[in-house]
Amino acid sequence: MSSIRELLSEGTELLRKTGLNNPARDSELLLCFAIESGKLGLYTNPDRTVTPDKKNLFLDYLTRRAAFEPISYITGKKEFMDSVFLVNRSVLIPRPETEHLVEQAAALAKQIIAPKLLDLGTGSGCIAVCLKKSVPDAEITAVDISEAALITARKNTKANGTAGIRFLRSDLFDALGPDESFDLIISNPPYVTNEEYASLLPETRLFEPENALRGGSDGLDFYRKILFEAPSRLLPGGKILFEVGYRQAGQVSDMIESTGKFGGIKVVRDLAYIERVVIARKI
C-alpha cells in the first residue's frame, strides 16, 4: 500500500522526467481526481494509504499525462467563467482569454430586449451557455460543423441548467434559414496558422481537434468567410464580435473595414495586454 505522500512524489518525478512544465501541480490534480479528494485533503493526512484500485487509477492518469494528454481531457472537465464544462477530445478546451469575448458580448446583449445571438463554432458550448446564464432572455443559436462537438455542447447546456439554446450542425451560416438574422454574431473561430500549428505544444497538437484550431495559411480563413456573409446576417445596428489570435487584431480590423459594411471598430485586450477581441457595428 502506498501513502498519499509517496504517490505524490512518485507522480511528480515521473512527470518531471517527461519534461512537463508543472509536474508537482499535475501530480496533485490527478491524485485528487483519482482518490476523489480536494487539495486540502491531500495535505491534512499525507500518510493516509490509498487503496490498490485508486492507486492504479492514479498510475493510469499519470501515464496519460506523461503522453501529454491535457489534464482537462483526463478529468473530463474545465472551468470557464463561473461554470464547469464537460470536455473531451471532440471539443477545444475553453481558454481563459475567451472569457473576454463572452464579457463583451454579454454587456452588449444586456442593452437589447430578447437579443438574438449567434455563436459560430460553439465547440463545448462554453460561449453560448455563459451568455444564456448572464442574459436569460437571449435567443441563442449555436452552430458547429462537428456533430461530436454539438453532442458535448448539448450536455453542457443541460449540466449548466441553461435550457433553450438552439444547437445546429452547420458549416458556418449554411444551415440557417435564408432570412435569419441576429443582433450579435459571436465567434471564436479556428485561427492558428499552418506554421504555428506545427509548433504548438504537443498537448494541444496531439489531442485537441485540428478543425477547432487551424485557420489556413495565415490563420485568417474563417474571418474572411464569416465577414463575407455576416453583413446580411446582422439586423440593422447589429454587431460582430470576434476572438482573434496573437497579432491578428490589426489584420482582422482591416478586413472588417474593407468590407465597407461596418463601423465603430473596437479592439479589447486580454489580461496579458494582448489584443484579443475585435468588435464592429453593421452600418
Q: Which of residues 204-223 bind ligand SAM (CB under 6 A)?
A: 211-212
* Cβ partners under 8 Å of residue 72, min gap 6: 78, 87, 93
State the sign of the Cα–Cα–Cα–Cα dihedral 239, 274, 210, 122. negative
- Considering only residues 131 to 160 of the shown chain, the ones binding ligand SAM according to CB under 6 A are 143-146, 149
Q: Scan residues 35-74 and list those touching ligand SAM (CB under 6 A).
A: none
Binding test (CB under 6 A) with ligand SAM, winner from 13, 60, 79, 171:
171
Residue 125 and residue 165 in contact, taking contact as beta carbons nearer than 8 Å? yes
The answer to whether 18 contacts ligand SAM (rule: CB under 6 A) is no
* CA distance readout (Å), 241 to 52, 100, 105: 51, 11, 7
* Cα-Cα end-to-end distance for the chain: 69
Please choose, out of 71-79, 109-117, 120-128, 274-282, the segment that lies near ligand SAM by the rule CB under 6 A: 120-128
Give the residue from 124, 130, 131, 61 showing the smallest Cα distance to 87.
124
Contact 101, 127 (CB under 8 A): yes
Nearer to ligand SAM, 7 or 120 (CB): 120
Task: In angstroms, give the least distance from the CB of 17 to ligand SAM.
Answer: 32
Q: Which of 12, 27, 152, 188 binds ligand SAM (CB under 6 A)?
A: 188
- Find the part of the chain contacting ligand SAM (CB under 6 A) among 22-30, 131-139, 185-193, 252-260: 185-193
What is the SS3 assignment for 88? Answer: coil
3-class DSSP state of 138: coil
User: By CB under 6 A, is residue 245 in contact with ligand SAM?
Assistant: no
Alpha carbon distance 43, 174 (integer Å): 53
* Residue 104 sits in the site that holds ligand SAM (CB under 6 A): no
Q: Which is nearer to ligand SAM, 107 or 283 (CB)?
A: 107
Quick check: 127 binds ligand SAM (CB under 6 A)?
Answer: yes
Contact residues for ligand SAM, defined by CB under 6 A: 92, 94, 98, 121-124, 126-127, 143-146, 149, 170-172, 188-190, 211-212
